[in-house]
Protein backbone atom coordinates (compact mmCIF):
# COMPACT_ATOMS: atom_id res chain seq x y z
CA UNK A 1 0.00 0.00 0.00
CA UNK A 2 2.81 2.40 0.97
CA UNK A 3 4.81 1.36 -2.11
CA UNK A 4 1.79 1.99 -4.31
CA UNK A 5 1.27 5.42 -2.76
CA UNK A 6 4.97 6.22 -3.31
CA UNK A 7 4.67 5.19 -6.96
CA UNK A 8 1.55 7.35 -7.30
CA UNK A 9 3.38 10.41 -5.91
CA UNK A 10 6.40 9.75 -8.16
CA UNK A 11 4.01 9.51 -11.11
CA UNK A 12 2.47 12.87 -10.23
CA UNK A 13 5.94 14.42 -9.92
CA UNK A 14 6.93 13.13 -13.38
CA UNK A 15 3.88 14.77 -14.94
CA UNK A 16 5.20 18.21 -14.12
CA UNK A 17 8.69 17.75 -15.60
CA UNK A 18 9.46 20.02 -18.55
CA UNK A 19 7.80 18.73 -21.75
CA UNK A 20 10.11 17.69 -24.60
CA UNK A 21 8.10 19.76 -27.08
CA UNK A 22 5.21 21.97 -26.04
CA UNK A 23 3.40 21.85 -29.40
CA UNK A 24 3.08 18.05 -29.24
CA UNK A 25 1.79 18.19 -25.66
CA UNK A 26 -0.73 20.87 -26.70
CA UNK A 27 -2.04 18.58 -29.46
CA UNK A 28 -2.31 15.75 -26.91
CA UNK A 29 -4.22 18.09 -24.58
CA UNK A 30 -6.72 18.99 -27.32
CA UNK A 31 -7.16 15.29 -28.23
CA UNK A 32 -7.80 14.43 -24.58
CA UNK A 33 -10.33 17.26 -24.19
CA UNK A 34 -12.26 15.69 -27.06
CA UNK A 35 -11.75 12.11 -25.86
CA UNK A 36 -12.47 12.60 -22.16
CA UNK A 37 -14.90 15.51 -22.24
CA UNK A 38 -16.71 16.05 -25.49
CA UNK A 39 -17.25 12.34 -26.15
CA UNK A 40 -18.84 12.04 -22.70
CA UNK A 41 -21.17 14.97 -23.26
CA UNK A 42 -24.03 13.01 -24.82
CA UNK A 43 -24.33 10.50 -21.97
CA UNK A 44 -23.99 13.29 -19.39
CA UNK A 45 -26.73 15.39 -21.04
CA UNK A 46 -29.00 12.36 -21.37
CA UNK A 47 -28.57 11.30 -17.74
CA UNK A 48 -28.88 14.82 -16.39
CA UNK A 49 -32.07 15.45 -18.34
CA UNK A 50 -33.69 12.30 -16.98
CA UNK A 51 -32.37 12.95 -13.46
CA UNK A 52 -33.94 16.41 -13.48
CA UNK A 53 -37.20 14.99 -14.78
CA UNK A 54 -37.36 12.22 -12.18
CA UNK A 55 -36.41 14.62 -9.38
CA UNK A 56 -39.33 16.90 -10.28
CA UNK A 57 -41.82 14.00 -10.25
CA UNK A 58 -40.47 12.55 -6.99
CA UNK A 59 -40.34 15.91 -5.20
CA UNK A 60 -43.77 16.94 -6.40
CA UNK A 61 -45.27 13.63 -5.31
CA UNK A 62 -43.69 13.88 -1.84
CA UNK A 63 -44.57 17.56 -1.30
CA UNK A 64 -48.30 17.16 -1.75
CA UNK A 65 -49.62 19.80 0.62
CA UNK A 66 -51.59 22.98 0.12
CA UNK A 67 -49.40 24.70 2.75
CA UNK A 68 -46.18 24.23 0.73
CA UNK A 69 -45.88 26.42 -2.39
CA UNK A 70 -45.29 24.73 -5.78
CA UNK A 71 -42.05 26.60 -6.36
CA UNK A 72 -40.52 24.47 -3.56
CA UNK A 73 -40.25 21.68 -6.14
CA UNK A 74 -38.06 23.86 -8.38
CA UNK A 75 -35.99 25.00 -5.41
CA UNK A 76 -35.44 21.41 -4.21
CA UNK A 77 -34.47 20.25 -7.68
CA UNK A 78 -32.00 23.14 -7.97
CA UNK A 79 -30.39 22.38 -4.63
CA UNK A 80 -30.16 18.65 -5.32
CA UNK A 81 -28.75 19.10 -8.79
CA UNK A 82 -26.23 21.80 -7.88
CA UNK A 83 -24.98 20.33 -4.64
CA UNK A 84 -24.91 16.62 -5.29
CA UNK A 85 -26.37 15.14 -8.43
CA UNK A 86 -24.36 17.04 -11.03
CA UNK A 87 -20.91 17.13 -9.43
CA UNK A 88 -20.94 13.79 -7.59
CA UNK A 89 -23.24 11.42 -9.45
CA UNK A 90 -22.08 12.57 -12.87
CA UNK A 91 -18.45 12.28 -11.71
CA UNK A 92 -19.15 8.71 -10.58
CA UNK A 93 -20.58 8.00 -14.02
CA UNK A 94 -17.50 9.59 -15.61
CA UNK A 95 -15.31 7.45 -13.35
CA UNK A 96 -16.95 4.44 -14.95
CA UNK A 97 -16.75 5.66 -18.51
CA UNK A 98 -13.53 7.66 -18.58
CA UNK A 99 -11.68 5.76 -15.82
CA UNK A 100 -12.03 2.35 -17.45
CA UNK A 101 -11.13 3.88 -20.81
CA UNK A 102 -7.91 5.43 -19.45
CA UNK A 103 -6.83 2.31 -17.55
CA UNK A 104 -7.44 -0.02 -20.48
CA UNK A 105 -5.76 2.36 -22.96
CA UNK A 106 -2.60 2.73 -20.88
CA UNK A 107 -2.67 -0.93 -19.82
CA UNK A 108 -2.79 -2.05 -23.44
CA UNK A 109 0.05 0.33 -24.29
CA UNK A 110 2.07 -1.23 -21.45
CA UNK A 111 1.32 -4.81 -22.55
CA UNK A 112 2.17 -4.09 -26.19
CA UNK A 113 5.43 -2.34 -25.19
CA UNK A 114 4.33 1.04 -26.57
CA UNK A 115 5.26 2.68 -23.26
CA UNK A 116 8.70 1.00 -23.38
CA UNK A 117 9.07 2.34 -26.93
CA UNK A 118 8.45 5.89 -25.68
CA UNK A 119 10.95 5.43 -22.84
CA UNK A 120 13.63 4.05 -25.15
CA UNK A 121 13.16 7.07 -27.43
CA UNK A 122 13.85 9.29 -24.42
CA UNK A 123 10.28 10.57 -24.02
CA UNK A 124 8.97 11.19 -20.50
CA UNK A 125 6.17 8.67 -20.99
CA UNK A 126 4.26 9.69 -17.85
CA UNK A 127 4.35 13.35 -18.82
CA UNK A 128 3.40 12.60 -22.41
CA UNK A 129 0.63 10.09 -21.75
CA UNK A 130 -0.84 11.06 -18.37
CA UNK A 131 -0.12 14.79 -18.04
CA UNK A 132 -2.43 15.90 -20.88
CA UNK A 133 -5.19 13.62 -19.56
CA UNK A 134 -5.12 15.20 -16.10
CA UNK A 135 -4.91 18.78 -17.37
CA UNK A 136 -7.63 18.14 -19.98
CA UNK A 137 -9.96 16.65 -17.37
CA UNK A 138 -9.36 19.59 -15.01
CA UNK A 139 -10.33 21.89 -17.87
CA UNK A 140 -13.26 20.03 -19.44
CA UNK A 141 -15.02 18.24 -16.55
CA UNK A 142 -16.26 21.48 -14.92
CA UNK A 143 -17.64 22.52 -18.32
CA UNK A 144 -19.33 19.13 -18.71
CA UNK A 145 -20.83 19.49 -15.24
CA UNK A 146 -22.20 22.93 -16.13
CA UNK A 147 -23.92 21.36 -19.13
CA UNK A 148 -25.24 18.73 -16.76
CA UNK A 149 -26.76 21.43 -14.53
CA UNK A 150 -28.41 23.20 -17.46
CA UNK A 151 -29.85 20.02 -18.95
CA UNK A 152 -30.91 18.75 -15.52
CA UNK A 153 -33.00 21.87 -15.00
CA UNK A 154 -34.27 21.61 -18.56
CA UNK A 155 -35.34 17.99 -18.01
CA UNK A 156 -37.32 19.07 -14.97
CA UNK A 157 -38.89 21.94 -16.93
CA UNK A 158 -39.95 19.63 -19.76
CA UNK A 159 -41.67 17.30 -17.28
CA UNK A 160 -43.52 20.26 -15.72
CA UNK A 161 -44.65 21.39 -19.18
CA UNK A 162 -45.61 17.91 -20.39
CA UNK A 163 -47.38 16.58 -17.28
CA UNK A 164 -48.45 19.84 -15.62
CA UNK A 165 -47.41 18.29 -12.32
CA UNK A 166 -46.65 21.87 -11.26
CA UNK A 167 -46.89 25.02 -13.41
CA UNK A 168 -43.70 25.72 -15.38
CA UNK A 169 -43.66 29.31 -14.04
CA UNK A 170 -43.60 27.97 -10.47
CA UNK A 171 -40.78 25.58 -11.35
CA UNK A 172 -38.72 28.41 -12.86
CA UNK A 173 -39.46 30.60 -9.85
CA UNK A 174 -38.15 27.80 -7.61
CA UNK A 175 -34.98 27.51 -9.69
CA UNK A 176 -34.43 31.28 -9.46
CA UNK A 177 -35.29 31.58 -5.76
CA UNK A 178 -32.59 32.49 -3.22
CA UNK A 179 -30.36 33.30 -6.18
CA UNK A 180 -27.86 35.13 -3.96
CA UNK A 181 -26.62 31.68 -2.81
CA UNK A 182 -26.39 30.22 -6.31
CA UNK A 183 -22.89 31.48 -7.08
CA UNK A 184 -21.56 29.85 -3.91
CA UNK A 185 -23.26 26.56 -4.75
CA UNK A 186 -21.95 26.56 -8.30
CA UNK A 187 -18.45 27.36 -7.04
CA UNK A 188 -18.74 24.48 -4.56
CA UNK A 189 -19.90 22.14 -7.33
CA UNK A 190 -17.06 23.15 -9.64
CA UNK A 191 -14.41 22.81 -6.92
CA UNK A 192 -15.71 19.32 -6.19
CA UNK A 193 -15.74 18.47 -9.89
CA UNK A 194 -12.13 19.61 -10.33
CA UNK A 195 -10.98 17.44 -7.43
CA UNK A 196 -12.97 14.48 -8.77
CA UNK A 197 -11.53 15.03 -12.26
CA UNK A 198 -8.02 14.87 -10.85
CA UNK A 199 -8.82 11.73 -8.85
CA UNK A 200 -10.49 9.92 -11.77
CA UNK A 201 -7.71 10.56 -14.29
CA UNK A 202 -4.73 10.15 -11.96
CA UNK A 203 -6.00 6.97 -10.26
CA UNK A 204 -7.09 5.36 -13.52
CA UNK A 205 -3.79 6.30 -15.16
CA UNK A 206 -1.90 4.81 -12.23
CA UNK A 207 -3.61 1.44 -12.58
CA UNK A 208 -3.12 1.39 -16.35
CA UNK A 209 0.44 2.71 -16.49
CA UNK A 210 1.93 0.40 -13.86
CA UNK A 211 0.12 -2.70 -15.08
CA UNK A 212 2.07 -5.95 -15.23
CA UNK A 213 0.89 -8.95 -17.20
CA UNK A 214 -1.38 -9.45 -20.19
CA UNK A 215 -4.90 -9.00 -21.46
CA UNK A 216 -6.47 -10.43 -18.30
CA UNK A 217 -4.66 -7.84 -16.17
CA UNK A 218 -5.86 -5.05 -18.47
CA UNK A 219 -9.43 -6.01 -17.59
CA UNK A 220 -8.58 -6.19 -13.89
CA UNK A 221 -6.82 -2.81 -13.99
CA UNK A 222 -9.85 -1.31 -15.66
CA UNK A 223 -12.14 -2.62 -12.90
CA UNK A 224 -9.75 -1.47 -10.16
CA UNK A 225 -9.56 1.99 -11.73
CA UNK A 226 -13.33 2.40 -11.55
CA UNK A 227 -13.65 0.97 -8.04
CA UNK A 228 -10.81 3.02 -6.50
CA UNK A 229 -11.80 6.21 -8.33
CA UNK A 230 -15.36 5.84 -7.03
CA UNK A 231 -14.21 5.18 -3.46
CA UNK A 232 -11.89 8.20 -3.46
CA UNK A 233 -14.60 10.38 -5.02
CA UNK A 234 -16.95 9.49 -2.16
CA UNK A 235 -14.27 10.16 0.48
CA UNK A 236 -13.29 13.47 -1.16
CA UNK A 237 -16.96 14.40 -1.47
CA UNK A 238 -17.43 14.05 2.28
CA UNK A 239 -14.24 15.98 3.11
CA UNK A 240 -14.97 18.83 0.66
CA UNK A 241 -18.56 19.17 1.83
CA UNK A 242 -17.37 19.40 5.43
CA UNK A 243 -14.71 21.96 4.49
CA UNK A 244 -16.69 24.18 2.14
CA UNK A 245 -20.32 24.09 3.22
CA UNK A 246 -19.99 24.03 7.00
CA UNK B 1 30.38 0.00 -29.88
CA UNK B 2 28.66 -1.06 -26.68
CA UNK B 3 30.58 -2.82 -23.94
CA UNK B 4 28.99 -4.61 -21.01
CA UNK B 5 31.21 -5.65 -18.11
CA UNK B 6 30.25 -8.07 -15.35
CA UNK B 7 26.50 -7.36 -15.45
CA UNK B 8 24.40 -9.05 -12.76
CA UNK B 9 20.69 -8.62 -12.16
CA UNK B 10 18.21 -10.37 -9.93
CA UNK B 11 14.51 -9.98 -9.18
CA UNK B 12 13.66 -10.75 -5.56
CA UNK B 13 15.81 -13.85 -4.91
CA UNK B 14 15.96 -15.04 -8.50
CA UNK B 15 19.27 -14.41 -10.26
CA UNK B 16 18.50 -13.52 -13.88
CA UNK B 17 21.93 -12.35 -15.08
CA UNK B 18 25.22 -13.46 -13.58
CA UNK B 19 28.47 -11.69 -14.44
CA UNK B 20 27.76 -11.17 -18.14
CA UNK B 21 30.45 -9.43 -20.21
CA UNK B 22 30.53 -8.80 -23.96
CA UNK B 23 31.54 -6.29 -26.61
CA UNK B 24 28.91 -5.41 -29.22
CA UNK B 25 30.89 -4.18 -32.20
CA UNK B 26 29.87 -1.30 -34.45
CA UNK B 27 29.03 -2.00 -38.09
CA UNK B 28 28.09 -5.56 -37.19
CA UNK B 29 24.91 -7.44 -36.37
CA UNK B 30 25.56 -8.64 -32.83
CA UNK B 31 23.28 -11.45 -31.70
CA UNK B 32 22.22 -12.42 -28.20
CA UNK B 33 20.85 -15.94 -28.41
CA UNK B 34 19.47 -18.32 -25.83
CA UNK B 35 16.39 -20.17 -24.66
CA UNK B 36 13.28 -18.36 -23.45
CA UNK B 37 13.85 -17.16 -19.89
CA UNK B 38 17.63 -17.25 -20.21
CA UNK B 39 17.97 -13.51 -19.55
CA UNK B 40 18.31 -12.07 -23.07
CA UNK B 41 15.54 -9.49 -22.74
CA UNK B 42 16.63 -8.47 -19.23
CA UNK B 43 20.17 -7.90 -20.49
CA UNK B 44 18.83 -5.75 -23.33
CA UNK B 45 16.61 -3.75 -20.98
CA UNK B 46 19.67 -3.14 -18.77
CA UNK B 47 21.66 -1.95 -21.78
CA UNK B 48 19.00 0.50 -23.00
CA UNK B 49 18.39 1.73 -19.46
CA UNK B 50 14.88 0.39 -18.91
CA UNK B 51 16.31 -1.63 -15.99
CA UNK B 52 19.20 -0.87 -13.65
CA UNK B 53 21.73 -3.70 -13.28
CA UNK B 54 22.61 -4.68 -9.69
CA UNK B 55 26.29 -4.87 -10.59
CA UNK B 56 28.49 -4.17 -13.57
CA UNK B 57 29.12 -1.43 -16.08
CA UNK B 58 27.76 -0.51 -19.50
CA UNK B 59 29.70 1.68 -21.92
CA UNK B 60 28.29 3.38 -25.02
CA UNK B 61 31.57 3.91 -26.86
CA UNK B 62 33.51 5.66 -24.09
CA UNK B 63 30.46 6.87 -22.10
CA UNK B 64 29.82 4.94 -18.91
CA UNK B 65 26.04 4.72 -18.49
CA UNK B 66 25.98 4.65 -14.69
CA UNK B 67 28.11 7.84 -14.49
CA UNK B 68 25.75 9.85 -16.69
CA UNK B 69 23.22 12.31 -15.32
CA UNK B 70 19.56 11.78 -16.35
CA UNK B 71 19.81 14.46 -19.06
CA UNK B 72 22.89 12.85 -20.61
CA UNK B 73 21.18 9.45 -20.43
CA UNK B 74 18.23 10.90 -22.28
CA UNK B 75 20.62 12.12 -24.98
CA UNK B 76 21.98 8.59 -25.38
CA UNK B 77 18.46 7.29 -25.79
CA UNK B 78 18.02 9.60 -28.76
CA UNK B 79 20.90 7.68 -30.38
CA UNK B 80 19.05 4.40 -29.89
CA UNK B 81 16.50 2.84 -32.22
CA UNK B 82 14.58 -0.15 -30.97
CA UNK B 83 12.47 -2.72 -32.72
CA UNK B 84 10.19 -4.45 -30.25
CA UNK B 85 8.92 -8.01 -30.38
CA UNK B 86 5.33 -6.88 -30.93
CA UNK B 87 6.44 -3.90 -33.07
CA UNK B 88 5.08 -1.46 -30.43
CA UNK B 89 3.69 0.93 -33.02
CA UNK B 90 1.38 3.54 -31.53
CA UNK B 91 -2.17 2.34 -32.24
CA UNK B 92 -3.68 5.80 -32.40
CA UNK B 93 -1.20 7.10 -35.00
CA UNK B 94 -1.01 6.34 -38.71
CA UNK B 95 2.04 4.74 -40.30
CA UNK B 96 3.56 8.10 -41.26
CA UNK B 97 2.75 9.64 -37.87
CA UNK B 98 4.48 6.72 -36.17
CA UNK B 99 7.65 7.21 -38.19
CA UNK B 100 7.45 10.99 -37.82
CA UNK B 101 6.93 10.81 -34.05
CA UNK B 102 10.59 10.93 -32.89
CA UNK B 103 11.39 13.55 -35.53
CA UNK B 104 8.57 15.82 -34.35
CA UNK B 105 9.46 15.24 -30.72
CA UNK B 106 13.21 15.75 -30.83
CA UNK B 107 14.16 17.73 -33.91
CA UNK B 108 13.50 21.20 -35.28
CA UNK B 109 12.87 19.89 -38.79
CA UNK B 110 10.19 21.59 -40.86
CA UNK B 111 7.03 19.72 -41.90
CA UNK B 112 8.43 19.25 -45.41
CA UNK B 113 11.74 17.90 -44.11
CA UNK B 114 9.92 15.50 -41.79
CA UNK B 115 7.69 14.31 -44.66
CA UNK B 116 10.79 13.72 -46.81
CA UNK B 117 12.55 11.77 -44.08
CA UNK B 118 9.43 9.70 -43.33
CA UNK B 119 9.00 8.80 -46.99
CA UNK B 120 12.69 7.96 -47.29
CA UNK B 121 12.53 5.62 -44.27
CA UNK B 122 9.32 3.96 -45.44
CA UNK B 123 10.71 3.49 -48.94
CA UNK B 124 13.87 2.03 -47.43
CA UNK B 125 11.85 -0.72 -45.78
CA UNK B 126 9.65 -1.16 -48.88
CA UNK B 127 6.46 0.25 -47.42
CA UNK B 128 4.86 2.12 -50.28
CA UNK B 129 1.49 3.92 -50.31
CA UNK B 130 0.60 2.84 -46.78
CA UNK B 131 1.30 6.17 -45.09
CA UNK B 132 -2.25 6.84 -43.97
CA UNK B 133 -3.08 3.36 -42.70
CA UNK B 134 -3.18 2.53 -38.99
CA UNK B 135 -0.99 -0.27 -37.57
CA UNK B 136 -4.00 -2.53 -37.07
CA UNK B 137 -4.60 -2.41 -40.83
CA UNK B 138 -1.14 -3.86 -41.60
CA UNK B 139 0.13 -7.45 -41.62
CA UNK B 140 2.66 -8.55 -38.97
CA UNK B 141 5.56 -8.32 -41.42
CA UNK B 142 4.54 -4.83 -42.52
CA UNK B 143 4.23 -3.70 -38.90
CA UNK B 144 7.80 -4.88 -38.28
CA UNK B 145 9.02 -2.96 -41.30
CA UNK B 146 7.24 0.20 -40.20
CA UNK B 147 8.77 -0.30 -36.74
CA UNK B 148 12.20 -0.55 -38.39
CA UNK B 149 11.45 2.65 -40.33
CA UNK B 150 10.57 4.39 -37.06
CA UNK B 151 13.70 3.01 -35.39
CA UNK B 152 15.99 4.38 -38.11
CA UNK B 153 14.17 7.71 -38.55
CA UNK B 154 16.55 9.51 -36.18
CA UNK B 155 19.60 7.87 -37.80
CA UNK B 156 20.52 6.03 -34.59
CA UNK B 157 24.03 4.86 -33.75
CA UNK B 158 22.66 1.83 -31.93
CA UNK B 159 19.82 -0.43 -33.10
CA UNK B 160 18.20 -2.99 -30.80
CA UNK B 161 15.90 -5.67 -32.20
CA UNK B 162 13.99 -7.82 -29.73
CA UNK B 163 13.05 -11.08 -31.47
CA UNK B 164 12.35 -9.38 -34.80
CA UNK B 165 11.11 -12.61 -36.40
CA UNK B 166 8.63 -13.73 -33.80
CA UNK B 167 5.23 -14.46 -35.28
CA UNK B 168 6.44 -14.17 -38.88
CA UNK B 169 6.47 -16.79 -41.62
CA UNK B 170 9.96 -18.01 -42.71
CA UNK B 171 9.98 -15.95 -45.93
CA UNK B 172 9.03 -12.68 -44.20
CA UNK B 173 11.44 -13.50 -41.35
CA UNK B 174 14.35 -13.69 -43.81
CA UNK B 175 13.24 -10.43 -45.44
CA UNK B 176 13.35 -8.74 -42.02
CA UNK B 177 16.76 -10.31 -41.20
CA UNK B 178 18.21 -9.11 -44.50
CA UNK B 179 16.76 -5.66 -43.97
CA UNK B 180 18.38 -5.41 -40.54
CA UNK B 181 21.73 -6.54 -41.97
CA UNK B 182 21.56 -4.11 -44.90
CA UNK B 183 20.67 -1.17 -42.65
CA UNK B 184 23.47 -2.05 -40.24
CA UNK B 185 26.03 -2.08 -43.05
CA UNK B 186 24.60 1.03 -44.69
CA UNK B 187 24.66 3.23 -41.56
CA UNK B 188 27.54 1.50 -39.76
CA UNK B 189 25.36 1.01 -36.68
CA UNK B 190 25.93 -1.13 -33.63
CA UNK B 191 23.03 -3.53 -34.04
CA UNK B 192 21.99 -5.93 -31.31
CA UNK B 193 19.49 -8.63 -32.20
CA UNK B 194 17.91 -10.84 -29.57
CA UNK B 195 16.72 -14.08 -31.03
CA UNK B 196 16.29 -17.80 -30.56
CA UNK B 197 15.75 -18.39 -34.23
CA UNK B 198 18.63 -20.42 -35.70
CA UNK B 199 17.77 -19.26 -39.22
CA UNK B 200 18.53 -15.69 -38.13
CA UNK B 201 21.71 -16.82 -36.41
CA UNK B 202 23.02 -18.50 -39.57
CA UNK B 203 21.83 -15.63 -41.75
CA UNK B 204 23.12 -12.53 -39.97
CA UNK B 205 25.15 -13.61 -36.90
CA UNK B 206 28.44 -11.75 -37.24
CA UNK B 207 29.13 -11.56 -33.52
CA UNK B 208 27.17 -13.90 -31.29
CA UNK B 209 26.76 -14.31 -27.54
CA UNK B 210 24.96 -17.35 -26.16
CA UNK B 211 23.30 -16.87 -22.79
CA UNK B 212 22.15 -19.75 -20.65
CA UNK B 213 20.72 -19.38 -17.13
CA UNK B 214 21.87 -15.77 -17.10
CA UNK B 215 25.50 -16.56 -17.95
CA UNK B 216 27.52 -15.90 -21.09
CA UNK B 217 28.38 -19.46 -22.11
CA UNK B 218 29.82 -18.89 -25.57
CA UNK B 219 30.83 -16.15 -28.00
CA UNK B 220 31.66 -16.52 -31.71
CA UNK B 221 30.30 -16.07 -35.23
CA UNK B 222 27.85 -17.86 -37.50
CA UNK B 223 30.78 -19.60 -39.18
CA UNK B 224 31.88 -21.48 -36.08
CA UNK B 225 28.57 -21.97 -34.25
CA UNK B 226 27.73 -25.27 -35.92
CA UNK B 227 30.94 -26.87 -34.64
CA UNK B 228 30.46 -25.73 -31.08
CA UNK B 229 31.48 -27.96 -28.19
CA UNK B 230 29.64 -26.21 -25.35
CA UNK B 231 26.94 -28.68 -24.32
CA UNK B 232 24.19 -26.15 -23.59
CA UNK B 233 24.67 -24.42 -26.94
CA UNK B 234 24.99 -27.72 -28.78
CA UNK B 235 21.67 -28.85 -27.28
CA UNK B 236 20.12 -25.47 -28.16
CA UNK B 237 21.22 -25.65 -31.81
CA UNK B 238 20.58 -29.30 -32.49
CA UNK B 239 17.19 -29.55 -30.88
CA UNK B 240 15.71 -29.32 -34.38
CA UNK B 241 15.57 -32.50 -36.44
CA UNK B 242 16.47 -30.55 -39.57
CA UNK B 243 19.76 -29.29 -38.13
CA UNK B 244 20.62 -32.73 -36.71
CA UNK B 245 20.17 -34.26 -40.18
CA UNK B 246 22.07 -31.35 -41.73
CA UNK B 247 25.00 -32.02 -39.40
CA UNK B 248 25.05 -35.72 -40.27
Of A114, A116, A120, the CB nearest to B90: A114
* B36 pLDDT higher than 90: no
For chain B, say whether A116 makes contact (Cβ under 8 Å). yes
For chain B, say whether A34 makes contact (Cβ under 8 Å). no
pLDDT score at B75: 83
How far apart CA A92 and CA A103 sit, in angstroms, is 16
> Residues A127, A14: contact at Cβ < 8 Å?
yes
Of A112, A113, A120, the CB nearest to B80: A120
Q: How many cross-chain Cβ pairs, A to B, lie less than 8 Å apart?
A: 48
* A220 pLDDT higher than 90: yes
**pLDDT level of residue B137 (50, 70, 90 thresholds):** very high
B246: distance to nearest CA of chain A, Å?
37
* B233 pLDDT higher than 90: no
**pLDDT level of residue A115 (50, 70, 90 thresholds):** very high
Who's near B55: CB < 8 A, 6+ residues apart?
B6, B7, B8, B19
Q: Which of B49, B62, B20 is nearest to B219 (CA)?
A: B20
- A168-176 helix and A71-80 helix, angle to the nearest 10 degrees: 50
**pLDDT level of residue A129 (50, 70, 90 thresholds):** very high
pLDDT score at B41: 87
Rounded to two decimals, the ipTM of the complex is 0.84
Per-residue pLDDT, averaged over B195-217, amounts to 88
Contact residues, B window 37-56, toward A, CB-based 8 Å cutoff:
48, 50
Per-residue pLDDT, averaged over B138-159, amounts to 90
- How many Cα atoms within 13 Å fall on the side-chain side of residue B208? 25
pTM of the model: 0.86
Q: Which of A184, A199, A203 is nearest to A234 (CA)?
A: A199
Who's near A191: CB < 8 A, 6+ residues apart?
A240, A244
pLDDT score at A140: 95
Angle at alpha carbon of residue B173, lines to B171 and B175, rounded to 5° = 75
pLDDT score at A147: 95
A113: distance to nearest CA of chain B, Å?
5
Least confident of A21-25, A196-200, A229-233: A21-25
Interchain proximity B106–A21, CB inside 8 Å: yes
pLDDT score at A213: 86
Per-residue pLDDT, averaged over A88-115, amounts to 94
Of A24, A117, A122, the CB nearest to B88: A117
In the three-class reduction of DSSP (H, G, I as helix; E, B as strand; rest coil), residue B139 is classed as coil
**pLDDT level of residue B24 (50, 70, 90 thresholds):** very high
Distance from the Cα of residue B57 to its chain's centroid: 20
Residue in chain B closest to A112 (alpha carbons) equals B88
How far apart CA B168 and CA B137 sit, in angstroms, is 16
**pLDDT level of residue A64 (50, 70, 90 thresholds):** confident
The chain-wide mean pLDDT, for chain A, equals 92
pLDDT score at A130: 95
- Tens of pLDDT, residue by residue over B66-83, are 888 888 888 888 889 999
How far apart CA B2 and CA B213 sit, in angstroms, is 22
For chain B, say whether A112 makes contact (Cβ under 8 Å). yes
* A68 pLDDT higher than 80: yes
Who's near A222: CB < 8 A, 6+ residues apart?
A99, A100, A103, A104, A107, A207, A208
DSSP assignment of A11-47: HHHHHTSPPS-HHHHHHHHHHHIIIIIGGGHHHHHHH
Per-residue pLDDT, averaged over A8-35, amounts to 89
* A179 pLDDT higher than 80: no
How far apart CA B105 and CA A22 sit, in angstroms, is 9
How far apart CA A236 and CA A95 sit, in angstroms, is 14
pLDDT score at A146: 95
* B170 pLDDT higher than 90: no
Of B86, B101, B104, the CB nearest to A112: B86
Who's near A9: CB < 8 A, 6+ residues apart?
none
pLDDT score at B222: 85
**pLDDT level of residue B138 (50, 70, 90 thresholds):** very high
Per-residue pLDDT, averaged over B95-120, amounts to 93
**pLDDT level of residue B177 (50, 70, 90 thresholds):** confident
Least confident of A87-96, A135-144, B167-176, B200-209: B167-176
Per-residue pLDDT, averaged over A23-39, amounts to 93
For chain B, say whether A21 makes contact (Cβ under 8 Å). yes
**pLDDT level of residue B8 (50, 70, 90 thresholds):** very high
* A102 pLDDT higher than 90: yes
How far apart CA A234 and CA A179 sit, in angstroms, is 28
pLDDT score at B167: 77
pLDDT score at B192: 93
Q: Which of A155, A133, A136 is nearest to A44 (CA)?
A: A155
Residue in chain A closest to B152 (alpha carbons) equals A121
How far apart CA B240 and CA B15 sit, in angstroms, is 29
Per-residue pLDDT, averaged over A162-175, amounts to 90
How far apart CA B49 and CA A142 sit, in angstroms, is 40
Residues of B in contact with A112 (CB under 8 A): 86, 88, 91
Least confident of A50-54, A144-148, A180-184: A180-184
pLDDT score at A18: 79
* B219 pLDDT higher than 80: yes
How far apart CA B89 and CA B95 sit, in angstroms, is 8
* A87 pLDDT higher than 80: yes
In the three-class reduction of DSSP (H, G, I as helix; E, B as strand; rest coil), residue B211 is classed as strand
**pLDDT level of residue B135 (50, 70, 90 thresholds):** very high
**pLDDT level of residue A67 (50, 70, 90 thresholds):** confident
Amino acid sequence: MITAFGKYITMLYSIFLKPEKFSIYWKRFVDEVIQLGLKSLFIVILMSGFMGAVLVIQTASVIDSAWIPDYTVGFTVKQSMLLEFCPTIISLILAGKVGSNIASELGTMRVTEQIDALEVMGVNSIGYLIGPKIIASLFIFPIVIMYSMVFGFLGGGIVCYATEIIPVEQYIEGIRSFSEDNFGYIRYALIKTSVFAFLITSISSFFGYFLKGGALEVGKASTKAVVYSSIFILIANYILTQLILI
Amino acid sequence: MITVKHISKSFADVQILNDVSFVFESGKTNLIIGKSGSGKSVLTKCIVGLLEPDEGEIFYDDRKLSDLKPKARKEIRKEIGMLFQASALFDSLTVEENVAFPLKMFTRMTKAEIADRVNFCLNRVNIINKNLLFPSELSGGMQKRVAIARAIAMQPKYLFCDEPNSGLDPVTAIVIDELIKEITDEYNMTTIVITHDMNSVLEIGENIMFIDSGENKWTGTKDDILDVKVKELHDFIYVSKFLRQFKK
